[in-house]
Structure 1
Amino acid sequence: MPHAALAHPPRWLTHAQLHPQPVAGVREWLFNEDSLTRRLTDLSRNGFSVVPLDEGWQRLRLDECAALGVADGSQGWVREVYLRGHEQRWVFARSVAARSALEGSGLNLAELGSRSLGELLFSDRAFDRGELQACRYPAAWLPDAVREECLWARRSCFSRGALGVLVAEVFLPDFWRAAGIEA
């Protein structure tokens, strides 16, 4: 599922750079450094599931290449999933890793299936998590079923040696309703 190039790609901003700041409840979910998988599992009272949408080798977006420190147009493994609570789509997640760093790293993202990548990254102490960034995610980059303007998203890069796995998570309207937060 190739992603359209945008005339104005989003500006991913750290907590300190984000102005105006979103409401406290939104901020707490965007910048909390705990495992999102665990937090969603708790919120759903163990009604959490991962539904893979698309995965495979693709050309990475420019913002992803920049975040991973690879040349524009680099190939990478792209995994897109829904993180669900009680069968509702709560989060759209897109995880990418540059082919040049992934091959030979010992990490096989193709084997995850319906398991959470977040749990894998948080359980492997060799991975260091970079700073969280947030933006209003472009609707053009979302699957048709959840395409909506101005949804809050966050991303961070998990690094292990030369390998970087960039994980972006877009919070969908059903999530905010379940969390009882006015986004």
Structure 2
Amino acid sequence: MLPSAPQTPAWLTRDQLSDPPSASVCDWLFDDRSLTRRLTDLSADGFSVTPLREGWLALRDDECAALDVPSGSTGWVREVYLRGNGQPWVFARSVVARQALQGSGLDLQQLGSRSLGELLFSDRAFARGELQVCRYPGAWLPAEAAQGGLWARRSCFRREQLAVLVAEVFLPVFWPVASR
């Protein structure tokens, strides 16, 4: 028997959280500055990106809803680890609907080990939407990091018709470093 798909979490804004995490966790979840820059500072310039998977895939229903595209739409999916001093601190999943990406001038296939966040924050044409958080399903994480209930955040970056949804899941090894 195949395992059932994880239940889609409720992505909530700060005001919608009935049981918010600690102030130090909220500081990371709701900081609207570049996470890449903040991780670079925390790691004393020991930041790197490790691509895990990218390509044209069916988007999840929660992603389709956030991007205002029909359920079952195809999009470019990029999954990476954001590392500090070699340790995977954050799992990031970025998605863009196919119809919005084609002809947009944004070439995500050429990013390689460069940070998408740095690209989005350096292009002033992109406007960042409100941050939302959830407890991320472990089944949506890479096998070696699969653990349920980790704090995640996401936001949508928009430039004209183009919308890039970026979700970032903070892995357990990150929190002791962040609290130093």
Report the Cα distance in structure 1 between the residues aligned to 2:91 and 2:137, rounded to whole angstroms: 12
Deviations 1:118-168 (A, max 9, x none): 000000000000000000000000000101110000000000011000000
How far apart are 1:7 and its partner, in Å?
5.4
Equivalence for 1:35 = 34
TM-score (norm 1): 0.95
The amino acid of 1:114's aligned partner reads S
Distance 1:43 1:98, change over 3 A: same
Report the Cα distance in structure 2 between the residues aligned to 1:100 and 1:150, rounded to whole angstroms: 32
Distance 1:125 1:155, change over 3 A: same
How far apart are 1:6 and its partner, in Å?
3.4
How far apart are 1:5 and its partner, in Å?
6.7
Q: Which 4+ residue blocks in structure 1 deviate beyond 6 angstroms?
A: none
Report the Cα distance in structure 1 between the residues aligned to 2:19 and 2:78, rounded to whole angstroms: 31
The amino acid of 2:76's aligned partner reads W
Equivalence for 1:144 = 143
Quick check: 2:76–2:96 contact (8 Å CA) kept in 1?
A: yes
The amino acid of 2:45's aligned partner reads N
Report the Cα distance in structure 2 between the residues aligned to 1:173 and 1:112, rounded to whole angstroms: 26
Distance 1:76 1:5, change over 3 A: farther
Instruction: Flag structure 1 segments of 5+ consecutive residues without an equivalent.
Output: none
Report the Cα distance in structure 2 between the residues aligned to 1:59 and 1:122, rounded to whole angstroms: 26
Report the Cα distance in structure 1 between the residues aligned to 2:43 and 2:136, rounded to whole angstroms: 24
* SS in structure 1 of the partner of residue 173 of structure 2: helix
Report the Cα distance in structure 2 between the residues aligned to 1:47 and 1:143, rounded to whole angstroms: 22
The amino acid of 2:84's aligned partner reads G
Report the Cα distance in structure 2 between the residues aligned to 1:178 and 1:92, rounded to whole angstroms: 16
Equivalence for 1:129 = 128
How far apart are 1:177 and its partner, in Å?
1.4
The amino acid of 1:46's aligned partner reads D
How far apart are 1:8 and its partner, in Å?
2.4
How far apart are 1:180 and its partner, in Å?
2.0
Equivalence for 2:75 = 76
Instruction: Flag structure 2 segments of 5+ consecutive residues without an equivalent.
Output: none
Report the Cα distance in structure 1 between the residues aligned to 2:46 and 2:111, rounded to whole angstroms: 19
Alignment of 1:32-181 (within 5 A): 32-180=31-179
Equivalence for 2:16 = 17
Report the Cα distance in structure 2 between the residues aligned to 1:36 and 1:143, rounded to whole angstroms: 20
Distance 1:43 1:63, change over 3 A: same
Distance 1:162 1:111, change over 3 A: same
Q: Give the total of aligned pairs.
A: 178
Report the Cα distance in structure 1 between the residues aligned to 2:151 and 2:18, rounded to whole angstroms: 14
